[in-house]
Amino acid sequence: MASTAAPLALFLLAASAMGGGGGAQAQPLVPAVISFGDSTVDVGNNNYLPRAVFKADYAPYGQSFARHQPTGRFSDGKIVTDITADTLGFESYAPPYLSPQASGKNLLIGANFASAASSYHDDTAAMYDAITLTQQLEYYKEYQSKLAAVAGRATARSILTGALYVVSTGTGDFLQNYYHNASLSRRYDVGRYCDLLVSIFSGFAEKLYKLGARRIGVTSMPPLGCFPASIRLYGEGPGACVARLNRDAETFNGKLNATVEALKGRHADLKIAVFDIYTPLRKLAEAPVEQGFADARGTCCRTGTAKTRVYLCNPTTAGTCRNASSYVFFDGVHPSEAANVFMAESMVEAGIELVT
Ligand SMILES: *[C@@H]1O[C@H](CO)[C@@H](O)[C@H](O)[C@H]1NC(C)=O
Ligand SMILES: *[C@@H]1O[C@H](CO)[C@@H](O)[C@H](O)[C@H]1NC(C)=O
Ligand SMILES: *[C@@H]1O[C@H](CO)[C@@H](O)[C@H](O)[C@H]1NC(C)=O
């Protein structure tokens, strides 16, 4: 795997040169990181939802994370927001909002509202008993009051204005809803469905802006057709990514780009950028060896085989691959930590745009 040191150092250097923070990295480049979305950024909220369908609260999830314990992160180790927080100079991670850790001074560095199987469309999240995006925003409002109580109103305001907001969701709207929901796909063709999802994002970003957010990063739709689970469910031959699903992701991403440009145009004081995960993940999925990975088709942990179980590690089958860093995918839909590091590196430019 490529060394991560160079791009990260470059990032810090560029950011501090542009006035983002002190050279000694005493202070993180932004006061807080606040995340919304699905399993790509959930750091444990679903552990506190008794009925949630998707949880990562069992081994081998977390096997290469601190203390080698499952935390609720859907990977062997760090997810993209963890790597971003490391890069920004944080020494700890914003807590999952539903956990007991989300209180007192821990709230000063942000909070994480994400929930696995959440989605842009609230209906998708509700089908899996995840926290809808609408409810995540309600929790965020509650967080604002709690933060003011801990830090005082003025400090809270400056934390909320300076914070980096990450929105990462949408995969479930396709994989857990659109692709097997005939009434939905009859009602909307792919283009119109993408319009619907992107308009939900746009409304969400507007609300965040009104509540004080000024730096928003939104991830693109990943290459849906390259997930091992997708190849299993929708593939036409062994090995190849499902072209149709990747085209859908590209349709979404084109519209997301346009919406982000429109938001920029409407708000001169809003920094907003797309964190493009599509391009690096597709590169990894189609040419893993060139990037230092051994396998992009298999999964490091053994997933279930039933249709609804190809997404996650199978809790009843112990054991994983010997070396998670040689796999692009840890389970049927979630990248390994090594792949997350690779993706985070390619987002450095968008990151600099947001935090300087
Ligand atoms: C299909 O999607 C709609 C809208 O998201 C949702 O209300 C409905 O429950 C879904 N139906 C099935 C069978 O998944
Ligand atoms: C979205 O914008 C990025 C950066 O400008 C570009 O690299 C990417 O190709 C665009 N994606 C689509 C699908 O238009
Ligand atoms: C694990 O795989 C990575 C990437 O293929 C490789 O760089 C590393 O040396 C491997 N580690 C071990 C212990 O085999």
* DSSP track, 200-236: HHHHHHHHHHHTT--EEEEEPPP-GGGSHHHHHHH-S
pLDDT at position 21, please? 44
Asked if the structure places residue 237 within a domain, the reply is no
Asked if the structure places residue 6 within a domain, the reply is no
Task: Output the residue whose Cα is nearest ligand 1's atom 7.
Answer: 123
Distance CA 213, CA 202 (A): 14
Task: Output the residue whose Cα is nearest ligand 3's atom 5.
Answer: 326
Are 332 and 228 contacting, i.e. CB atoms less than 8 angstroms apart?
yes
Ligand sitting nearest the alpha carbon of 255: 2
- CA separation (Å) from 199 to 133, 203, 206? 13, 6, 11
Q: Is 254 in the pocket of ligand 2 (CB under 6 A)?
A: yes
- Joined together, the tokens standing for residue 198 give 């992107």
pLDDT at position 24, please? 47
Annotated catalytic residue, options 39, 75, 115, 336: 39
Asked if the structure places residue 283 within a domain, the reply is no
- Could you list the residue range(s) of the whole structural domain that residue 206 is in? 26-225+242-278+348-355
Distance between Cα 38 and ligand 1 center (Å): 18
pLDDT at position 239, please? 80
pLDDT at position 97, please? 98
Q: Is 336 in the pocket of ligand 3 (CB under 6 A)?
A: no
Distance CA 36, CA 113 (A): 5
Q: Total structural domains in the chain?
A: 1
pLDDT at position 313, please? 96
Residues of the chain with pLDDT under 70: 1-26, 318
Maximum CA extent, the chain = 59
Answer yes or no: 168 catalytic.
no
Asked if the structure places residue 7 within a domain, the reply is no
pLDDT at position 236, please? 84
Asked if the structure places residue 234 within a domain, the reply is no
Answer yes or no: 334 catalytic.
yes
Asked if the structure places residue 327 within a domain, the reply is no
Ligand sitting nearest the alpha carbon of 300: 3
Asked if the structure places residue 174 within a domain, the reply is yes
Answer yes or no: 230 catalytic.
no
Asked if the structure places residue 343 within a domain, the reply is no
Task: Output the residue whose Cα is nearest ligand 3's atom 4.
Answer: 326
Q: If residue 10 lies in a helix (H) or strand (E), which one and from where to where?
A: helix 5-17
pLDDT at position 22, please? 42
Specify the CATH number for the domain of residue 121. Answer: 3.40.50
